[in-house]
Amino acid sequence: MKYDNIFNLKGKVAVVTGGCGVIARELVRSLAEFKASVILADIDRKTGKNIAEGLAGLNLDVIFRYTDITDGKSVSDLINFLDKKYGRIDAWINSAYPKTRNWGEKFENINWSSWEKNIDMHLKGYFISSQKAAEYMKRKRQGSIINFGSIYGVLAPDFSIYENTKMTMPAAYAIIKAGIVNFTKYLASYYGKYGIRINCISPGGIYAKQPESFVKKYVHKTLIKRMARPEDISGLVVYLVSGASEYVTGQNLIVDGGLSTS
């Protein structure tokens, strides 16, 4: 094996769902900088087009495609487009984050319809995308699917860090992300014989101008003494798409600055 080219993604086709998100737009850029052809898939047409055009202006191979992961036809349309344009899908990154307007209510204030809709949208979207992407990859006998979980799909939240803020950790988030972690293991077991690798990344908190009191308490719980930046996640995604991770599947990779060790 030659190691000097092991992370080169030239010739690979990668889809990033929810590509307009804070983390996801950084994933799009990093994959493109490693020479992949990247499809930014999102329901936000204006932002998606602006991001894709901006990166294309840097001579990066990025295009935008409107895609609603909760709609089977929308996902199928994307896959059909990719098949006709490229004849392959090497990586599918599930990072979309569908949620209702009242997302983030405290537990005692959550109503059933909100609970039901949030869980349905998020898990249904990951199911539809994973099923359709994996079945396409099965025909090619290769591919990498990366799901996004969270440390709060593995750990119980420390609610003291939210005190004196309007923030909380939504209850549905814990169920959704825990489900995604084990769904990843299921998929890896089911599709492994077809050469498809399926892994999960569970980030810790990403800094997004949260209240100072929250940031201070959160940072104190980490070993590195800061919150994550979107680019802290990008290298791991490049690794999981590249040939460097050909023997890695069924894993939940936690990126949290050491928070979960305490």
The β-bridge partners of 200 are 147, 252
| Percent of the chain residues topping a pLDDT of 70 | 100
According to the model, what pLDDT value does residue 235 have?
Answer: 96
How confident is the prediction for the chain on average, in pLDDT?
96
Q: What is the pLDDT of residue 241?
A: 98
Judge whether residue 1 has pLDDT over 90: no
Question: At 167, which amino acid appears?
Answer: M
Enclosing H/E stretch for 120? helix 112-140
Percent helix, strand, coil in the chain (nearest 5)? Answer: 50, 15, 35
Q: Which long-range contacts (CB under 8 A, 24 or more apart) does 223-227 make?
A: 223/257, 223/258, 223/259, 223/261, 223/262, 224/257, 224/258, 225/257, 226/257, 227/257
The predicted pLDDT at position 244 comes to 96
Instruction: Give residue 76's pLDDT.
Output: 98
Stretch 249-260: mean pLDDT, rounded? 97
Question: For residues 184, 179, 130 and 121, what is the CA-based torsion angle, rounded to 10 degrees?
Answer: -160
- Write the pLDDT tens digit of every residue in 216-241: 999 999 999 999 999 999 999 999 99
The arithmetic mean of pLDDT across residues 9-36, rounded, is: 97
- Mapped to the 3 state alphabet, what secondary structure does 151-198 carry? HHHCCCCCHHHHCCCCCCCCHHHHHHHHHHHHHHHHHHHHHHHHCEEE
Confidence of residue 2 (pLDDT cuts 50, 70, 90): confident
Sign of the Cα torsion 18, 146, 102, 168 reads negative
Q: What pTM was computed for the model?
A: 0.96
Domains of the chain: 8-261 (3.40.50.720)
Task: Summarize the confidence of residues 165-190 as an average pLDDT.
Answer: 96
In the 8-state DSSP scheme, what is residue 48? Answer: H
Mean pLDDT of 108-117: 95
In this prediction, residue 70 carries a pLDDT of 96
pLDDT the model gives residue 262: 73
Q: What is the reported pLDDT for 121? A: 96
Of 259, 44, 249, 256, residue with least CA distance to 134: 249
